Amino acid sequence: MMGPAHSLSGAAAWLGVGAAAAATGYAMPWPVLVVGALITAGAALAPDLDHKSATISRAFGPVSKALCGIVDDLSHAVYKATRGPGDPRRNGGHRTLTHTWLWAVLIGAGASAAAVFGGRWAVLTILFVHLVLAVEGLLWRAARVSSDVLVWLLGATSAWILAGVLDKPGNGSDWLFTGPGQEYLWLGLPIILGALVHDIGDALTVSGCPILWPIPLGRKRWAPLGPPKAMRFRAGSWVELKILMPAFMVLGGVGAAGALNFI
């Protein structure tokens, strides 16, 4: 899928989690619902850091470009080192390491650890990165015509303001994890969710996605998972634009209504 569909599906998934959390007695304060949805929308672009023309790889100028090169090489190296007898040879790392459940969990756990042990600047950095990505993903071409610097400024000011809102008592910096020192431990959850939703979205497209790695399936360790071929579509096709994206918006709306106890 393309950026906007990934971001919308990510946000919708977090709003759905919000509804489930409300139903099970862990209702999210509204700032957690909003910030979580934005983080998930941004995190849902992150696995494509292994592809140089992806939104995330150009979102932070030379920094993300350099990181993209490293991630692509690392992914390719891990692919070669762990390839099963049934896996084909390949030339690059796209849609391998960063498109797995294990990567999602490691990135999310890393973000949670950074948020808990790194203090306020770590929280602000996590928010900034994901807000910039959310703007790029959700506004797409509109964000591209404006300058990168404006998007960064928007991300930085929003991160600052939203952290201030979350910090107020009852607003959710301690949502779900309420022990002393566990503020913002939940920040990893929307990051894990966003990456997984991205993988599922890619699995629906023609090439599939090796979500299960390193768990082997038969002779393959990097089996590209997905539904039967007839149910798959090309990235950016009408199915994505005319059916999936409106569906994500409706589902997100229903999720938000459930999360805020309107239904």
Applying CB under 5 A, the residues found at the interface with Zn ion are 47-48, 202
Output 19 or 197, the one with its CB closest to Zn ion. Answer: 197
Least distance (Å) between residue 201 CB and Zn ion = 8
Least distance (Å) between residue 209 CB and Zn ion = 7
Output 212 or 260, the one with its CB closest to Zn ion. Answer: 212
What totals of helices (H) and strands (E) does the chain contain, helices first? Answer: 11, 0
Burial degree of 88 (CB within 10 A; 0-12, 13-18, 19+)? exposed
Output 11 or 162, the one with its CB closest to Zn ion. Answer: 11
Distances 143 to 139, 152, 167, 179 between C-alpha atoms, Å:
6, 11, 29, 39
Least distance (Å) between residue 198 CB and Zn ion = 6
Least distance (Å) between residue 83 CB and Zn ion = 20
Output 105 or 156, the one with its CB closest to Zn ion. Answer: 105
Residue found under tokens 């084909």? 88
Least distance (Å) between residue 222 CB and Zn ion = 14
Measured over the CA atoms of residue 192, residue 198, residue 203 and residue 207, the dihedral's sign is negative
- 3 state SS of 217: strand
* C-alpha–C-alpha distance, residues 210 and 58, integer Å: 24
Output 125 or 237, the one with its CB closest to Zn ion. Answer: 237
